[in-house]
Structures are given as C-alpha cells and as structure tokens.
Amino acid sequence: MYPDAREEPSRRAFSFSGLALDKRGPKQQRWDAASARAREELLRPCPYIGHDHDRIGVHCLSREAYGIAEQSFRRAIWLNPYKPGFHHHLAYALFRQKRHKEALGVLDELREKWPDFAREKELREAILQTWNEEKGERDAGKGNGRP
C-alpha cells in the first residue's frame, strides 16, 4: 500500500468542487490574468493602481512598440485617472505614432484637469511644430506637381 492510504482521512488531500484541499486549507492557486483583471476592475478608480501598466508602457516606448505602449497607458488611465503622468505618456505614444490630433486631444484633457502640469506645454509645442513641418512638406509636395 501507498503511504498516503495509511493516513487518517482528515489528513489526506481532498478535492471539493475542483479546489484542492490539504491539512492547512485550500492550496494556493496560480496567478491568473483574468482574475487579476477582475480584481483591478473591482478596485478602480484608485490612485494606487495602474503604475505597473504605466511602467510596461514606458518600456514599450523605449522599444518603439508604440501600439502596445498606447494600450498600456489607456489601461493605466482607466484604472487610475488621477495621475497626470499617465495622460502625458499616452499623448507621447500617440505623437510617436503620428496621430497628432488624438495626442492634442489627450493634452487638452490633461490641461483641463491639471492646468499647472509643465510637461504638457512642452509636448504640445513639439507636436504642433512637427505637425506644421509635416503639413508644410505635404503642401510643398503638392506644389511640385506630384500627386
């Protein structure tokens, strides 16, 4: 016989509705992405969450994965709308994707909520300067007879 079979029934591991039990109680479940998202959604909006998504987004920006960075920043803002840095990072990710109107829209929201946020003005100027340069290049291209 196996050694487990000789133990008394109260000490053996039982399975009750799919949850494994041992003598200390329920076993620790592995991390699950769906349950982590559900927990975040129950806690939102909260000033203490969303920082991990922001860090992932900043890392993706450094690797020029702008689409993934945008998704991470949007999630961070959705979880924690109280941090102006999250909005600033989202605007920068949109700017790097050459979606200038959307980036300016995010900066407008940022200005409404936090009028003293200095980095907003710097990014707005950079976006407008780049946008005007691109617009000037397009207009110059039309004048040369190119389609």
pLDDT tens digits for the chain (147 residues)? 445 555 555 544 444 445 555 566 666 667 788 888 888 888 889 999 999 999 999 999 999 999 999 999 999 999 999 999 999 999 999 999 999 999 999 999 999 999 999 999 999 999 999 999 988 887 776 655 444
Residue 14, strand partner residues: 21
> What per-residue confidence (pLDDT) applies to 28?
64
For domain 47-143, give the fold.
1.25.40
Domain positions in the chain are 47-143
- CB 87, CB 110: distance < 8 Å: yes
pTM score, whole prediction: 0.72
